[in-house]
């Protein structure tokens, strides 16, 4: 077992004392970095980059060379699981991910097999193992998956959607078909994340990117229920340490108490949720991650610094806060602004951890 030189991210997720508030950024390995764009061009296309363990490792490590981040996150995509189910994932220029074979009937769902993570998804596990080796214990590695509901939206819609009308039609006209799909996806994600943990991921995160598109009761039925099943099925200790689990529903601020009740260790917050309100509502039950608007990184460093100060003040003293953006960093953000953000979090958070 490699000793971690910087474990404040894991400690904060478990609400243990830290010296400063840890920080990382969603999509921290990405197109805003010129060195990422070079490797992406070398790979030829996005999925070829994901499937090459050495290149996936390289782009995972790139932001850590630039910024004193407190965690690395596996470079991959949330749609690897449905791709492994044989749906034919491809990317249209300027349109995002699409599937050649959308799943739109009970019979089509019934034919889907739960993928073996060390077979059709072995390239992800190879990337995890390579990244852990090359990190040399500097910071922890985060593994991740999409939530069953979010994966299902792409599988049923056939790609991205603004209205989610096709999957909502299935939800309300053919709920048995959708529940069968979500159940298979939950089983798949449990296997997938546990394989990432076995390969070396030290924390895992579930991205429920489209949970906020659901109505109040529908969210509990079609999204939260299946994330809770995943939390129940995950390996929670490896290498002699707790493996923290973070759930993030974009647009899910109204359900924080219910998400916290799943047994997860931390909640991700988007920028529409006030940090002070969130802490007041969930108390010390879970840690909180978030929640700066990614667009704030277009501002001047002084303004970024002020926003960091405000959010730190909203959370207040003590551990249990991982600073992050409320969603992924935008592709045209100047890297120096991201650096100003990370530095501000470490510098300004020290007084909140002195007791």
Residues tagged in the binding site annotation for substrate: 27-31, 77, 154, 209, 327
Examine residue 260 and say whether the peptide bond preceding it is cis (omega within 30 degrees of 0): no
Binding site, annotated residues: 27-31, 77, 154, 209, 327
Structure tokens belonging to residue 149: 């509901």
Confirm whether 116 is a catalytic residue.
no
Cβ-based neighbour number of residue 273 at 10 Å: 20
Report d(CA 217, CA 128) in Å as an integer. Answer: 36
Is there a catalytic annotation at residue 154? yes
* Catalytic choice (40, 104, 279, 305): 40
Contact yes or no for 128/199 (Cβ under 8 A): yes
Peptide bond into 291 cis (omega under 30): yes
Catalytic residue among 9, 32, 36, 154: 154
| Candidate list 77, 116, 183, 187, residue with the active-site label | 77
Helix axes 34-43, 53-66, angle to 10 degrees: 170
Contact 300, 266 (CB under 8 A): no
Active site residue 37: no
Q: Identify the three-state secondary structure at position 292.
A: strand
352 a catalytic residue = no
With a CB cutoff of 8 Å and minimum separation 6, the contacts of 205 are: 73, 142, 143, 144, 245, 246, 247, 248, 268
Q: Which of 27, 66, 122, 225 is catalytic?
A: 27
* All residues at 6 or more sequence positions from 44 whose CB lies less than 8 Å from its CB, including other chains: none
CA distance 302 to 173: 52
Q: Among 159, 151, 261, 253, which Cα is nearest to 210's?
A: 151
**Is the CB of residue 252 less than 8 Å from the CB of residue 260?**
no
* Active site (annotated) includes residue 305: no
Report the catalytic residues.
27, 31, 40, 77, 154
């Amino acid at each position: 077992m490699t000793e971690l030189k910087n474990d404040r991210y894991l400690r904060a997720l478990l609400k243990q004392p830290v010296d400063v508030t840890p920080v990382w950024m969603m999509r921290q390995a990405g197109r805003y970095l010129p060195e990422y764009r070079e490797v992406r061009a070398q790979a030829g296309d996005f999925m070829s980059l994901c499937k090459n363990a050495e290149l996936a490792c390289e782009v995972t490590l790139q932001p850590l060379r630039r910024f004193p981040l407190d965690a690395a996150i596996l470079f991959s995509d949330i749609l690897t699981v449905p791709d492994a189910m044989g749906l034919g994932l491809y990317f249209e220029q300027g349109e995002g991910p699409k599937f050649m074979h959308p799943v739109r009937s009970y019979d089509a769902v019934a034919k889907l097999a739960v993928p073996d993570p060390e077979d059709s998804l072995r390239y992800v596990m190879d990337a995890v193992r390579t990244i852990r080796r090359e990190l040399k214990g500097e910071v922890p590695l985060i593994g991740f998956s999409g939530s069953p509901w979010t994966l299902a939206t792409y599988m049923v819609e056939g790609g991205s959607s603004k209205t989610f009308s096709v999957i909502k039609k299935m939800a309300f006209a053919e709920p048995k078909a959708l529940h069968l799909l979500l159940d298979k996806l939950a089983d798949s994600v449990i296997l997938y994340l546990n394989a990432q943990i076995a390969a070396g991921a030290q924390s895992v995160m579930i991205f429920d990117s489209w949970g906020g598109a659901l109505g109040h009761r529908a969210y509990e039925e079609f999204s939260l229920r299946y994330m809770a099943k995943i939390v129940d099925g995950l390996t929670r200790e490896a290498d002699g340490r707790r493996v923290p689990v973070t759930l993030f529903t974009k647009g899910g601020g109204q359900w924080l108490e219910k998400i916290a009740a799943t047994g997860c260790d931390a909640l991700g917050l988007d920028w529409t949720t006030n940090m002070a309100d969130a802490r007041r509502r969930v108390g010390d039950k879970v840690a909180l991650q978030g929640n700066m608007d990614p667009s704030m990184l277009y501002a001047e460093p002084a303004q970024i610094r002020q926003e960091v100060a405000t959010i730190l003040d909203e959370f207040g003293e003590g551990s249990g806060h991982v600073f992050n953006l409320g969603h992924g960093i935008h592709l045209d953000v100047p890297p120096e602004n991201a650096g100003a953000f990370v530095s501000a979090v470490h510098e300004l958070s020290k007084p909140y951890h002195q007791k």
